Structure 1
Amino acid sequence: MNQEATTGVYGNPPAELADVPREAVQFSPLMPGSAALERCAEGSLAGMVMLAPPGTIERRHDIALALRALQPGAQLTVMAPKDKGGSRLAKELKAFGCEMSETALRHHRILVGPRPEDLSLLAEAIAEGSMRLVEETGLWSQPGVFSWNRVDPGSALLLKHLPQLSGRGADLGCGVGYLARAVMEMPAVELLAMVDIDRRAVEAAAKNITDPRATMTWADVRKAGTIPEGLDFIVMNPPFHDGGAEDRSLGQAFVRRAAESLRKGGRLWLTANRHLPYEDHLKTLFARADLVAEAEGFKIYEARK
């Protein structure tokens, strides 16, 4: 990258809150194809504009990476909604040795200031937010990934009711591979295409699932061409939040992609929160859709193409 001109952009800051130069490089674990901030060389950026994530460990980790990537004296502009970490930004940046000016605009806190000369205070936050082996799950994961340090109860319920699968399949929104780990223990499975929009999850899944029958892809399931067609089965625990707000269309898009990718007679196994209205969508797109179980605030469906 051109160190004289390159500015980093992280997290798609609102356009009205920050001016981003044309030569900016996008860093985002949730934007397939964007660069990885973790691998950005120290002192390689002339500036950074970032929308900080809401999770404390993830936010401190990402801000520390951004500061490390800045050239000496280069400026960081970091913002967050007041109720999603913005009120804590000033304290966190001060702990990194930063001297920042702070403003408030449209329910955001915005802090601007130069990279500190001493980068040693960043190491702890970078280590704390990096990928690790989680003892409770036995899986590699990273703060910021969905259900990063625990088993999601919806996925756990799905595994209780999942039959022996066979043939070619997919795990849509695979996360770090909790469902895939169980699927790959089924000897009749020939292929499992694992797809997730979170780069960190895909990289963790590659460490967790080493079976050659499994493939991992960093992609947005909603876009065509992300998974094979003519599949025998699909398993999924689809997301229903986008940017912190509930978006029921996300899960519905996953259901559509599954219907398009399964062969006739192929089966979809879906877990969803009880309040999410997937029944009509499933019945429209599939020849048959059955409620298999309902417990602990979740529903399990089997749908046949």
Structure 2
Amino acid sequence: MSAGGFSAAAPEMALATLCVPFDTSVLRLPASGRAWFLRARADVRLRELAQPGWLCGQSFLPFADELARCGLRVGEPAGGETFPLVLLLPPRQRDEARALFARALDRLAPGGTLVASMAKAEGAKSGEADLARLAGTVGSLSKHHCRVFWTTPEPDAIDRALQDEWRALDAPRETADGWWSRPGLFAWDRVDRASALLAAHFPADLGGRVADLGAGYGYLATQLIARCPGIAALDLYEAEARALEPARRNVANALHAAGRDLPVDVHWHDVTRGLPQRYDAIVSNPPFHLGRADLPELGRAFITSAADALAASGRLLIVANRHLPYEALLAARFADVRQLAMQDGFKVIEARSPRA
């Protein structure tokens, strides 16, 4: 945690392994100096390898900001732009990874090479098999408990029907319970139990301008709309850009179901950097991990940002795993803190009247 916000360590071993084919001259960087790096992460090795013509794609705002602070260009390719080299750090979630393989091939120039790296414990074997199924012959190397694999596909070797199918896996979809979501988001195909517990304890008199921090696909926001008629305006803050469209759809459905015309804004925003305006109430199921690493300081950063943004009589409602040590910070930042529920390993806490 720093004044500038929160960032987690990059996946150093996967990045180091991604560099191995270039370090050993198995592969060569393109003479044009152009590449697109999907799900890029800032790292010493990336800064050593990257050239001015590289473009980094990253949908998680803290990581995107970190790349920009390192002097790397961040964004999406223009129009039909293609690259002689496309790099990828696939996620563990298989549908999301398959969609990324399809997108990567969309932007690969004829004769270009796609290179991906994954930890073996995160599904590297499956990722390599999927790329081979999609693009044909794949080369690979293992190091640092990771696997790097690549292809320079012939155009007629790519299974275009499968590519279309996999590309569509990233589109927002309705889950079995009727929520708009997409693979790879937190609890993407279900209602998270902790969030459901928090929503069950929303007080009916919650009103004024309200914010949902770390909104995900918008479940808590929909419950605020359904349960709290006194809300005058609602802001959703979410750092993962892929969650924004599902959140907008779910909120629109909730407004329609409730017959309400409520100002609602969905923001791509890093909550740990503070909030841009004041609120009468804030709700949150704050994240406490990135990947598999527990990072309770991330949840504490959400609490700090909430306390700083609440009006003098404002209140914060959060849910957390019962073991997370938030009480001391809450007591330091709020005049009145009480536990509303303890159930199934989760606790719901209400904090009122923030201290300066």
* Structure 2 residue 205 is the aligned partner of structure 1 residue 205: no
Q: Which amino acid aligns with 1:228?
A: Q
Q: Is the 8 A contact 2:277 2:309 kept in 1?
A: yes
CA-to-aligned-CA distance 1:196-232 (integer Å, 9 cap, x gap): 01101112111221354110111111113x4412x11
Deviation at 1:41, TM superposition (A): 4.9
Selected match of 2:140 from 98, 102, 112: 102
Counterpart residue number, 1:16: 45
2:190 matched to which residue of 1? 150
CA distance in 2, matches of 1:86, 1:29: 22
Aligned to 2:105: 67
Matched residue, 1:247: 295
Amino acid aligned to 2:37: V
2:75 corresponds in structure 1 to 35
Cα distance between partner residues in 2 of 1:89 and 1:201:
23
| Equivalent pair of 2:281/2:315 in contact (CA under 8 Å) | yes
The one of 220, 230, 239 equivalent to 1:179 is 220
Question: What secondary structure does 1:184 align onto?
Answer: helix
Task: State the distance in 2 between where 1:203 and 1:171 align.
Answer: 16
Q: Give the letter aligned to residue 51 of structure 2.
A: P
Alignment of 1:184-199 (within 5 A): 184-185=225-226, 186-199=228-241
Matched residue SS, 2:129 = helix
Deviations 1:102-147 (A, max 9, x none): 11122211112214513513122222332112231x2211001111
Q: Following the alignment from structure 1 to structure 2, what is the Cα–Cα distance between the partners of residues 20 and 114? A: 20
Look up the match of 2:23.
Answer: none
Counterpart of 1:189 in structure 2: which amino acid?
Answer: I
Structure 2 equivalent of residue 25 of structure 1? 55
RMSD over aligned Cα atoms: 2.0
Change beyond 3 A, Cα 1:89–1:44 = same
3-state secondary structure, aligned to 2:324: coil
SS at match of 1:275: coil
Matching of residues 1-305 of structure 1 within 5 Å = 6-13=34-41, 15-16=44-45, 19-31=49-61, 34-35=74-75, 41=79, 44-117=82-155, 118-120=158-160, 121-136=162-177, 138-164=178-204, 165-185=206-226, 186-210=228-252, 211=255, 212-224=262-274, 226-229=275-278, 231-304=279-352, 305=354
Q: Which amino acid aligns with 2:277?
A: P
Q: Is the 8 A contact 1:172 1:195 kept in 2?
A: yes
Unpaired runs of 5+ residues, structure 1, are none
Native 8 Å contact 1:75 1:114 kept in 2:
yes
**Native 8 Å contact 1:176 1:205 kept in 2:** yes
Check whether the contact 1:177–1:208 (CA below 8 A) recurs between aligned residues: yes
- 2:135 partner SS: coil
Q: Helix, strand or coil for the counterpart of 1:267?
A: strand
Change in Cα spacing, 1:114 to 1:255, as seen in structure 2 (3 Å) is same
The 4+ residue runs of structure 1 with deviation greater than 4 A are 40-43
Q: Percent identity?
A: 33
Say if 1:152 and 1:267 are closer, same or farther in 2 by CA, change over 3 A.
same
Number of residue pairs matched by the alignment:
297
Q: Residues 215, 166 of structure 1: CA spacing in aligned structure 2 closer, same or farther, 3 A cutoff?
A: same
1:272 is paired with a residue whose SS is strand
What runs of 5+ residues in structure 2 fail to find an aligned partner? 1-31, 66-73, 256-261
Q: Offset at 1:42?
A: 5.4
3-state DSSP class of the match of 2:273? Answer: coil
The AA in structure 1 aligned to 2:187 is S
Deviation at 1:44, TM superposition (A): 2.1
Partners of 1:199 and 1:57 lie apart in 2 by 17
Task: For residue 294 of structure 1, give the secondary structure of its aligned residue in structure 2.
Answer: strand
Q: Which has the higher helix share?
A: 2
Work out whether residues 222 and 257 of structure 1, in 8 Å CA contact, stay in contact via their aligned partners in 2: yes
